[in-house]
Amino acid sequence: MFIRRIIICFCLVATAQINAQSTVSKEDKAQLKKIYDTALLEGNSYQWLDHLSNQIGARLSGSLNAQKAVEWGKAELEKLGLDKVWLQPVMVPKWTRGVTEFAYIETEPGKSTNVPICALGGSVPTPIGGLKAPLIEIKSLEVLEKLGRKAIEGKIVFYNRPMQADLINTFEAYGGCVDQRYAGAAAAAKYGAVGVLVRSLTLRSDDLPHTGAMSYGDLKDSEKIPAAAISTNGADLLSSMLKLNPNIKFHINMNCRTWEDVESFNVIGEIKGSEFPDKHMVVGGHLDSWDLGDGSHDDGAGIVQSMEVLRLFKKIGYQPKHSIRIVMFMNEENGLRGGKKYAKIAAQKNEDHVFALESDSGGFTPRGFSFDCTDAAFNKVLSWKPLFEPYLIHYFVKGGSGADIGPLKKDSNVLAGLRPDSQRYFDYHHAKNDTFDAVNKRELELGAATMTSLVYLFDKYGIE
């Protein structure tokens, strides 16, 4: 009899737990549906992106447009009726491209073929009138050491390692060859090169060169050499011509310039938490962009999706338990100073950031998230997967989060990155065609709803 009673009690407790879980599940399903419905039927992310991209445009750190974007972002957050909106000063680098770059391949005196190039961000200019020199084509930085100064000195080093096309994760392919763009000039200069030319980091074959950040490391100003990207079509043409005639020369003319640092700002807005006001959750992206396009995918999309998270909470009447912040970070592209400054101030104020989510992978169809967290926190996330299945969100993995929120990482918190479908992202990344017309309204809105849903779940259940 005693054992029977124990079994009955156990069954009653188990049934109660199942019913409680079922109730929670129904509540969460209804809340996610409300979030997605509101984003798709009454969303504002696309309209915001239209203004940011078409009325303001490219927003390179230190530029007039970057300041216009700061002012716009602050004004729009104030319109949402948040509990607090403020600007956080940060000193940022200022680099300008100058007159459009010009380049050609010279097969013999008087015979040349123009090819599309662009200066890499932070490059020094060529001498007045341009630079012309023979080339040497290599596939990696390691080859420089093997070739030595005798083979490199006086030449333009042409880095022609393509992104690996058989990698399904295109960010992995990007990571496999970004070193030649970022560190290629510093490495080549130490062997006497007079310039570097880098194959654009895209899987697409086109005539659009892709810019991006580069570093001279510890080189003195007198040792720095010009660094440019060449389009993939241009790189293939140049490589073919070099095979036919290794003695051809390449001419580059660039007028870029680095100025003194200037003041800019992170833009921050907050909804105060009802139960845990001193525990902070962050959603964000970077407000700056490169200067060739208007930065719609990189990272206008992430900015407006993050704004939409807070707008959707206000719209559906959800009062978060934790304080929810949006941060529009400045200077991710060529310095990461906004992200570092935000984390520094947070540490100085002893603020407890329990969760942060970044969108900086384009405005394409959302697939899921990657998480930088403990196994216990990740297992909690995995228990939420069924809630996302109706919206075709299925990709939940442990991994990186985002460059701007990275400095906030500590053992006890969770950092996450939105992971959209990446197959088209590098068609536009840092190129002239990263414009508003390349963003699909529905895909953008789905991403915002997916972010809002994850923030809702972390806010409701915490990370413990």
By annotation, the residues acting in catalysis are 332
Q: 84-96 and 257-271 as β-strands: parallel, antiparallel, unpaired?
A: antiparallel
Q: How many CA atoms lie within 13 A of 1 on its CB side?
A: 0
Long-range contact set of residues 243-246: C-beta below 8 Å, sequence gap at least 24: 245/107
Name the helix (H) or strand (E) containing 108. Answer: strand 102-108
Q: How far is 262 from 150, CA to CA, in rounded Å?
A: 41
Neighbouring CB atoms inside 10 A of 260's CB total 8
For residue 335, which amino acid is it? G
Print the SS3 string covering 316-378.
HCCCCCEEEEEEEECCCCCCCHHHHHHHHHHHHCCCEEEEEEECCCCCCCEEEEEEECCHHHH
Q: Which residues contact 34 (CB under 8 A, 6 or more apart)?
A: 316
Structure tokens given for 435: 């414009």
Phi-psi region of 318 (alpha: psi -120 to 50; beta: other; left: phi over 0): beta
Both ends of the chain: CA-CA distance in Å?
A: 39
Structure tokens given for 414: 């969770």
* Angle at 72 (CA atoms; ends 67, 74), nearest 5 degrees: 100
Q: Which residue has the tokens 């390179």?
A: 60
Q: Before 37, cis peptide (omega within 30)?
A: no
Neighbouring CB atoms inside 10 A of 84's CB total 13
Q: Which residues contact 365 (CB under 8 A, 6 or more apart)?
A: 420, 421, 443, 446, 447
Nearest to 449 by CA among 34, 10, 17: 34
Largest pairwise CA distance in the chain: 104
- What DSSP line would sit under 286-306, residue for residue? ES---SSS--IIIIIHHHHHH
- Beta bridge pairs of residue 286: 329
